[in-house]
Structure 1
Amino acid sequence: MLATRQPDEILNEITENIKDKFGLKVFDAEINHFGYANLKWRIRTDSGVFFVKQYNSVRYSDELLQSVEVALELQDRLNKAGIPCPKILNKQGTYIHRTQSGERYMITEFCDGQMVNPGEINIHQMHNLGQITGRLHHWLNTNAPQSLPLHWKPDTKEGMLRNWSQNWLDAQFAGSNKYIAALEQQRKIADEINLEIFDLCEEGWVHWDLFVDNILFHTDKVTAILDFDRMNYIYPEFDISRAILSGAILDGSFNIESARAFINGYRQSIPITRPKLIRSIKLTWWKEASWINVKSEDHRTLKRFVDELIWVSNNWTMLEEVCNDLLV
């Protein structure tokens, strides 16, 4: 399973395996260029349209895929519980399949819907996204294993500042005023932040990649939450702020009505207090701090995340006021 194999060669091997395992004859395939490293296709078969993802051998070790298998099993159960997410094809309880040469892949039903640009999710879509996120968290809290070791913990201030120092050097070398200014602001916050606030984070299962690229919409609702590969036992608060920042920030402005719609939808299943909402935003900012690196300008998604983090930095001292407005 070499990383240098051509996509068509990998696809042909996977389609043969799909025919052997599931009896699906593949007529044609259209490559999907979203995501990083993994190959993805929309395939048309004699039994309908499906989505296939190949797991890159460099990015995903067999050990890492063990946690992905757990996440996909939970996704399957979420689908059966009525959460809008793709139905996964499994073979005798296995969700990640292997070809004869060792290529690893998963296959799901293809979901209808359109992607929406960051910051352009309308109020109705955001409200429904909040509803679904709340239902997802509530189901996981009720039905998935609990009190597990945390998959991730916030970096120490020392660790964060080591990354900051390298990012600062990179920004200075590139002469990037945007990143120099962003890192100056980030350093001021990092010097003052009390990391004990994260000790209060509620533990539980989290999608951990809940942003616009992983959500499909119709005009007034969500049709599917996608890409559960990273789902793990950490802090559900990540999903709250990551979705809000992704959906409500456009050109440096924060859409209060859109964010409030998400929160009102979420609160139908799970309460959100002002301290929890503030902590959620700060948690995502801290976790993603290392992405404020000039090299992120070369990546569409990371560049967008940086713009969101810069908004948080610029409004750090006003988060309490912002959150008061959101919880009206």
Structure 2
Amino acid sequence: MLLTTEDQLVNEIASWLKKNFSTGILSAERVRRGLRNEKWIVKTNKGRFFVKSYHPGRFKMHDPEFRSKLENALQLQLLFYQSGGPCPEPLTLDGSCMHILPCGRYMTVMTCCPGAMVPAGMIGEHRMHSLGRAAADMHAVWESAATLGIGAAVPLGEPVWRLSREEMEHTWEVSWDAARDSSERVRNALQLQKTIVDSLGDDEFTPLTVGWAHLDLWADNLLFEGDALAAIVDFDRARYSFPALDLGRAILSGTLSERGFRKDAVVAFTEGYRRMRPLPPGSLLKAIKYVWCLESLWWIQPSFESSSVVPVRFAEEMIHTAERWEQLDALLGDI
């Protein structure tokens, strides 16, 4: 039977740390961000650590295949850390980054990184430049490891998040049917979405270059100190996919406000990325459009206005991008 109370979980985590790492917890501060998974910053006699307990109602932890994918994502994080990348170091036991408590809960423990989050849409030029360099370095590390056939970086199957016109059209029809009683704003957003979907050419559905990607590179998963990126966190979604999706997601999250894209910050990000890896002109625009095609169908839902802060932010990004769709080529196409 899975334990559910916070005190019980913290006690089991404390016993696990004591037994396996001779580490004693002095205090545990709950981090109340994200969906359902329990998280703490724990102060110990060996420093501060971040602990995440995977809630069975959030992830399919009963599924060995899913657990394997999650373990692989944490191993990719470890590879990036070992290369000198700005991210926490997962603690391993018998080679594994994911651990099981006596109660049956799975968890991961990693070092704490300094820095603070910056609100979405407000990441400045210097910080975006630093993020661009780190994203390029992360992609390069994983690409190199894949070429060498190193463990977690060996591609497994087909890339995830491939676009399909048929799936987009079907998903839109389902949302539209469910939005009969939704607000005018929701229905207008869905109508604009349909207009864009109908206008998409075959080029928009051409797969991007494949490789390992973080796939959750947004403001809440970035820590900054001063003008520099201090850490990328939360690698749980890292999968074999399209690395350019990280670029599109970072730009949408970091530079898009109600006034539109802050072009100077977009340029700074691409300049940082190009310091480490090639990025042909036009690639960023394609990445942004690809991300929109994927995510707009996730976030522009009939009930999004009553959702929590994070889904609303993502939905607003999709709507603001859609409202500027016709101007994207002129604004970002030459970057």
Look up the SS of the partner of 2:50 in the other structure. Answer: strand
Inter-CA distance 295–87: structure 2 relative to 1 (3 Å threshold): same
Picking from 86, 89, 99, the partner of 1:87 is 89
Residues in 2 aligned to 1:147 and 1:68: alpha-carbon distance in whole angstroms: 14
Q: What corresponds to 1:106 in structure 2?
A: 108
Letter matched to residue 172 of structure 2: W
Q: What corresponds to 1:311 in structure 2?
A: 320
Give the deviation of 1:147 after TM superposition.
5.2
Q: What corresponds to 1:247 in structure 2?
A: 254
Give the deviation of 1:254 after TM superposition.
1.4
Q: What corresponds to 1:226 in structure 2?
A: 233
Q: What corresponds to 1:322 in structure 2?
A: 331
Say if 2:210 is the partner of 1:203. yes
Picking from 122, 125, 129, the partner of 2:131 is 129
CA contact (8 A) 2:85 2:137 kept: yes
Q: What corresponds to 1:22 in structure 2?
A: 21
Residues in 1 aligned to 2:199 and 2:266: alpha-carbon distance in whole angstroms: 27
Q: What corresponds to 1:60 in structure 2?
A: 60
Residues in 1 aligned to 2:260 and 2:203: alpha-carbon distance in whole angstroms: 29
Letter matched to residue 301 of structure 1: V
CA contact (8 A) 2:204 2:289 kept: no
Residues in 2 aligned to 1:274 and 1:182: alpha-carbon distance in whole angstroms: 30
Residues in 2 aligned to 1:148 and 1:52: alpha-carbon distance in whole angstroms: 27
Residues in 1 aligned to 2:161 and 2:219: alpha-carbon distance in whole angstroms: 24
Name the % identity: 33
Deviations 1:37-85 (A, max 9, x none): 2110010111111100001113232421211111111211211111100
CA contact (8 A) 1:198 1:279 kept: no
Say if 2:242 is the partner of 1:235. yes
Picking from 153, 175, 180, the partner of 1:172 is 180
Residues in 1 aligned to 2:178 and 2:205: alpha-carbon distance in whole angstroms: 29
Residues in 2 aligned to 1:235 and 1:134: alpha-carbon distance in whole angstroms: 13
Picking from 154, 159, 162, the partner of 1:154 is 162
Give the deviation of 1:195 after TM superposition.
4.3
Residues in 2 aligned to 1:229 and 1:219: alpha-carbon distance in whole angstroms: 26
Q: What corresponds to 2:149 in structure 1?
A: none
Look up the SS of the partner of 1:288 in the other structure. Answer: helix
Residues in 2 aligned to 1:289 and 1:106: alpha-carbon distance in whole angstroms: 31
Deviations 1:305-324 (A, max 9, x none): 11111122122222221224
Give the deviation of 1:34 after TM superposition.
1.0
CA contact (8 A) 1:207 1:230 kept: yes
* TM-score using structure 1 length: 0.93
Residues in 1 aligned to 2:231 and 2:258: alpha-carbon distance in whole angstroms: 26
Inter-CA distance 324–220: structure 2 relative to 1 (3 Å threshold): same
* TM-score using structure 2 length: 0.92
Give the deviation of 1:299 after TM superposition.
1.9
Look up the SS of the partner of 2:303 in the other structure. Answer: helix
Look up the SS of the partner of 1:222 in the other structure. Answer: strand
CA RMSD of aligned residues (A): 1.7
Deviations 1:250-288 (A, max 9, x none): 224211111111010001122222332222011101111
Give the deviation of 1:148 after TM superposition.
4.1
Give the deviation of 1:197 after TM superposition.
3.4
Look up the SS of the partner of 1:17 in the other structure. Answer: helix
Look up the SS of the partner of 1:34 in the other structure. Answer: coil
Q: What count of residue pairs does the alignment treat as equivalent?
A: 324
